[in-house]
Amino acid sequence: MNNDGIFKRLWIYQAERFPLVAHGPMVIIFCFAVLGFGSEGEYDRIEFTYLTLATAVLSVLLLFFQLRVADEFKDAESDSRYRPERAVPRGLVALEELAFFACAAAFVQLTAVLLIDWRLLSLLVLVWSYMGLMTREFFAPRWLQSHPVIYLISHMLVMPLITFYVSAFGWISSSGEPPRHIGLLLTLSFFIGVILELGRKIKSARNEKNGVETYSRLWGVKTALLVWSMAVWIAAITYAAIALPSVPAMFLLCLVVAAAVSPLVMTRYFLAGKVTDFQIELMSGLLALVFYLGLAPLRFAVALGGV
């Protein structure tokens, strides 16, 4: 085991496995977008406090950290065999240490939800329970691995759950009921999750590694890119259905056209060897960022600008 102090090692761990520089801004934008949708009037007004936003961001950031820790436990054996350079196999941190910090994060989350409204606790426990099932591969790991589409869906369902949990920070203390059209937002979050998951697990043949499951290996590169493209198109259509009444028409048109064309361009150049795995992953993150920015954050900026 590495003899450096635990906090120094944890800082190195986050840089490698859970970079706050990348996750932090995305979580802030995600929570802003979801809370904006969940506010009274569904975009007629954006009404939530900075305290609500801050506690939601903190809670969600810690949820994603807990998901990372759960993955470390789930993948411990394969990482030890095929990816010894990773933080846990090489001894930077121990699983027990990560488990301790995941539990400490749970205490912080409990404090945060009780600060806003105790009724949020049931939704937090629901998210934790589903994450626990994911860690155990729903007690059917071999069956799920032999059915990659169901595997993908089962693991991406955590995104609508987290989205619903965040939205409740805005409405549970006011109306006590979710917005009428929240199903569209949950659908969007699901497909954005699919875009991000596929984007990081599509690899060129030369970058495939033994023991590392990717969708390009499971389905073939062309099929994986097709499914990725379809997820982008469905997300764009869903976003348009949400944003049509309130987002500037020109922005909406440009976004939908870009979302329709970008997967086709990326697929063509990836198959030609002119686009890298990293660029597919980067495009996935960019699309997710734009979709969420195009909800409440964009409208808030427009309102501040007096447009």
- CATH at residue 162: 1.10.357.140
**Containing domain of residue 107, as a range?**
1-175
pLDDT recorded at residue 96: 95
Percent of residues in the chain assigned helix, strand, coil, to nearest 5: 75, 0, 25
Q: Are residues 27 and 167 in the same domain?
A: yes
pLDDT recorded at residue 38: 58
* Dihedral sign for Cα atoms in the order 90, 95, 14, 186: positive
Q: Are residues 129 and 32 in the same domain?
A: yes
Q: Are residues 238 and 295 in the same domain?
A: yes
259 belongs to a structural domain: yes
Neighbouring residues of 71: CB distance < 8 A, sequence distance ≥ 6: none
Average pLDDT over residues 266-278: 94
Q: Taking 60 as the threshold, does the pLDDT of residue 302 lie above it?
A: no
Q: Are residues 148 and 238 in the same domain?
A: no
62 belongs to a structural domain: yes
Q: Are residues 105 and 189 in the same domain?
A: no
pLDDT confidence tier of residue 246, bands split at 50, 70 and 90: low
pLDDT recorded at residue 44: 43
Higher pLDDT, residue 44 or 133:
133
d(CA 236, CA 228): 13
Give this prediction's pTM.
Answer: 0.91
246 belongs to a structural domain: yes
33 belongs to a structural domain: yes
Q: Are residues 161 and 233 in the same domain?
A: no
Residue 225 · residue 267 · CB < 8 Å = yes
**C-alpha 237, offset from chain centre:** 19
pLDDT recorded at residue 47: 62
Average pLDDT over residues 46-58: 85
Q: Are residues 112 and 199 in the same domain?
A: no
pLDDT recorded at residue 43: 44
Name which of 176-185, 194-203, 267-276 the model is least confident about. 176-185
Q: Which of 114, 148, 175 is the last residue of a domain?
A: 175
307 belongs to a structural domain: no
Q: Which of 141, 175, 209 is the last residue of a domain?
A: 175
Q: How many domains does the chain have?
A: 2
Q: Taking 50 as the threshold, does the pLDDT of residue 27 lie above it?
A: yes
Angstrom CA distances, 189 to 84, 85, 232, stand at 33, 32, 11
Q: Taking 70 as the threshold, does the pLDDT of residue 304 lie above it?
A: no
Name which of 36-40, 85-89, 182-186, 270-274 the model is least confident about. 36-40
Tokens of 118: 């105790």
pLDDT recorded at residue 276: 94
Q: Are residues 101 and 197 in the same domain?
A: no
d(CA 55, CA 214): 35
Q: Are residues 190 and 261 in the same domain?
A: yes
Rg of the chain's alpha carbons, rounded to an integer? 20
Q: Taking 50 as the threshold, does the pLDDT of residue 41 lie above it?
A: no
pLDDT confidence tier of residue 247, bands split at 50, 70 and 90: low
Instruction: Give percent above pLDDT 90 in the chain.
Output: 64
Q: Which of 143, 175, 207 is the last residue of a domain?
A: 175
Condensed to tens digits (0 to 9), the pLDDT of residues 87-115 reads 999 999 999 999 999 999 999 999 999 98
Q: Are residues 246 and 125 in the same domain?
A: no
306 belongs to a structural domain: no
Q: Taking 90 as the threshold, does the pLDDT of residue 39 lie above it?
A: no
